[in-house]
Structure formats: structure tokens, C-alpha cells
């Protein structure tokens, strides 16, 4: 089955981003441009004096972004973990992060993300730099491979998969294609979740590791706090528990103030929370039916209510 590119929670995300904005010349950041669905929607709602900055690691996404002819729009070939460089001296009214992988990346076998389509075992969102999944697997130790698959894929057969990869490599069968890896994993993972390919968790783990997705997320969230104006919105769409846990815990950590019991301090002197969680949204049953890839999505919205000072 093939899928066209459909932005997940499109209306909900853009509404959450802009609904509280009072600025006459707002500045927003779409940190994960993808194929531009969210950016195009933001531009439709943006005032003539507004500005939309966008970033993406993927050169193909950048090529699409550069076809947008709108003086209010700028796109940068950069990870959102460097949003401070992109924003410069600008304070932002809202930041949108649509995490994970886009449909065009999965549906193009040559990108190496799909276990259903054969192609080079690459998995780099920016294939102009860094190391491919195939090259990493050709040199990583059994311990390193196990750690990645277990931590980033939450795969209980991680050790068995790592052992099989190393044995195959030592016997001259280095993994160079997605089908080779998927077949090897299927030969090891004897039980699976209903409807899930046995290679799902392994491919997820390698993709996250190769692209340093969770490290980028943690860095981006920390930068977002500094860049947002008071009243600015942070809108994040995540697709698996590892991402959502980081987002949830970050928002909670900035929404609560912990004061040691018995500390003599007046209420007026208490530090104020920096964020306030506004809402948590999951796709409707209609969206999941029309776009199965949205089924695991979670949208979290937080508003900056205080200062870091």
C-alpha cells in the first residue's frame, strides 16, 4: 500500500500555534518543513507583516521549500536543533515541530527508511553528511548495536538481532540493503505485535540513532524556551513513546516550581513557571481512517507564561 503525503493534525496544530498571537508582525518557526503542509497552512493564516521561518535536514524538503514564492517565508537547510542560528535576534511567537519521518522519505526506497521497499540501507535524513546505517552496522560492535536497538526501538530481541548482524558480517554478508536487514531481523524475531512487521522496531531504532533525533529534540526544546516571546506557543507532534516522553517531561519540568520543604520564602518571591500546558490532542477516528500513519500521533501544546530570568 502507498500513501500520499498528508500532514498529521494539520488544522489542530496550526490553530494551536496562532490562536493566541497578538502581534501585528508575528514570527513563527516551522522546524520540520517536510513537504510544506503545515507551512503552507500557516502562510494562509499569516498577516501581511508576519514572517515564517522553516528548517529541515532533508535536501529534498529544502528543494520543495524553495519553490514557495512568498516574501514572508524563508527556509534553511538546518536541523531545528540550530533554531537559534536561524532566528538570529528574532523573538518567536510560535514554534511547530512535527517529529519523526515524512511519508515521502518512507515511500522512496532509495532513502533506506522502509523495510517494505528494497533500497540502499542509508536512513540519513541529510544524505550529504554523516554515516549511513549500512556503514555503521559494518563496524559497530555487538554491544553497541544491542544498545541502539534496545534503547531507541524498545525491542526485546535486540541482543539476538545484534548477534545475527555481527555473525552475518563476519561470514562476509555485510548488510547493504533494506531488504537484507529486514529479512535478517524477521529470521530472528519469531513473535510480533499484530499487524506489525518484525523489522519495525529495528528500523525505527537505527533511524533515530543515525539522525540523532532525540538529541536534536532535547536541544530544540531547550532553545525554544529562550526564543519564544511571553505568550508564544510551542506545538509538538510526536509519533512514538520515546519522543512524546521527552516532550511531556520537558513541559512538565518547566510548568512546575519545586521548593524544598521548610525553606523560608514568601509567596511573592517564588519563581514563576515558564510554561503552561494548554492541551493534548490525538487524531480523530476519521483522520486515522483516512491516514493510517496518523494513528500514533500526539499533539502537545504549551504556552510560555514566564521568563527564564
Residue 273 has pLDDT above 50, yes or no: yes
Residue 150 has pLDDT above 50, yes or no: yes
Top pLDDT among 92 and 273 is at: 92
Encode pLDDT of 169-199 as tens digits.
999 888 999 999 999 999 999 777 777 899 9
Encode pLDDT of 30-80 as tens digits.
999 999 999 999 999 999 999 999 999 999 999 999 999 999 999 999 999
Residue 204: CA atoms inside 13 Å, Cβ hemisphere, count? 21
Confidence of residue 260 (pLDDT cuts 50, 70, 90): low
Rounded to an integer, what distance in angstroms lies between the CA atom of residue 153 and that of residue 201? Answer: 5
Please, which residues have CB within 8 angstroms of residue 188's CB and are 6 or more apart in sequence? Answer: 157, 160, 161, 164, 198
CATH class of the domain at 10-103+213-304 = alpha beta
Closest by CA to 58, choosing from 116, 122, 149, is 122
CATH class of the domain at 111-211 = mainly alpha
Predicted TM-score of the model (pTM): 0.91
Please, which residues have CB within 8 angstroms of residue 113's CB and are 6 or more apart in sequence? Answer: 101, 105, 106, 123, 178, 203, 207
3-class DSSP assignment, residue 119: coil
Encode pLDDT of 95-112 as tens digits.
999 998 888 888 899 999
What is the domain partition of the chain in residue ranges? 10-103+213-304, 111-211
Provide mean pLDDT across the span 110-136: 94
Q: What is the rounded average pLDDT for all residues in the chain?
A: 92
Amino acid at each position: 500500500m502507498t500513501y500520499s503525503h498528508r500532514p498529521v493534525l494539520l488544522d489542530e496544530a496550526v490553530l494551536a500555534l496562532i490562536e493566541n498571537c497578538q502581534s501585528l508582525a508575528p514570527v513563527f518557526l516551522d522546524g520540520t518543513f517536510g513537504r510544506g503542509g503545515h507551512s503552507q497552512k500557516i502562510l494562509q493564516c499569516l498577516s501581511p507583516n508576519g514572517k515564517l521561518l522553516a528548517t529541515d535536514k532533508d535536501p529534498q524538503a529544502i528543494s520543495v521549500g524553495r519553490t514557495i514564492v512568498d516574501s514572508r517565508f524563508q527556509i534553511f537547510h538546518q536541523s531545528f536543533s540550530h533554531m537559534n542560528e536561524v532566528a538570529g535576534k528574532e523573538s518567536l511567537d510560535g514554534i511547530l515541530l512535527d517529529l519523526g519521518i515524512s511519508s515521502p522519505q518512507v515511500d522512496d526506497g532509495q532513502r533506506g527508511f522502509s523495510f517494505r521497499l528494497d533500497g540502499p540501507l542509508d536512513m540519513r535524513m541529510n544524505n550529504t553528511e554523516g554515516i549511513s546505517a549500512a556503514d555503521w552496522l559494518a563496524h559497530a560492535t555487538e554491544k553497541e548495536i544491542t544498545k541502539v536497538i534496545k534503547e531507541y526501538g524498545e525491542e526485546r530481541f535486540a541482543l539476538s538481532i545484534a548477534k545475527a548482524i555481527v555473525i552475518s558480517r563476519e561470514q562476509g554478508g555485510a548488510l547493504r540493503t533494506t531488504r537484507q536487514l529486514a529479512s535478517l531481523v524477521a529470521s530472528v524475531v519469531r513473535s510480533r505485535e499484530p499487524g506489525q512487521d518484525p523489522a519495525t522496531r529495528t528500523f525505527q531504532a537505527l533511524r533515530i540513532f543515525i539522525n540523532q533525533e532525540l538529541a536534536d529534540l532535547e536541544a530544540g526544546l531547550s532553545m525554544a524556551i529562550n526564543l519564544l516571546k511571553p505568550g508564544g506557543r510551542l506545538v509538538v507532534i510526536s509519533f512514538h513513546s520515546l519522543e512524546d516522553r521527552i516532550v511531556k517531561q520537558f513541559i512538565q519540568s518547566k510548568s512546575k516550581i519545586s521548593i524544598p520543604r521548610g525553606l523560608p520564602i514568601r509567596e511573592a518571591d517564588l519563581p514563576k513557571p515558564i510554561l503552561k500546558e494548554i492541551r493534548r490532542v490525538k487524531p480523530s477516528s476519521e483522520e486515522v481512517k483516512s491516514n493510517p500513519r496518523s494513528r500514533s500521533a500526539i499533539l502537545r501544546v504549551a504556552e510560555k507564561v514566564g521568563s527564564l530570568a
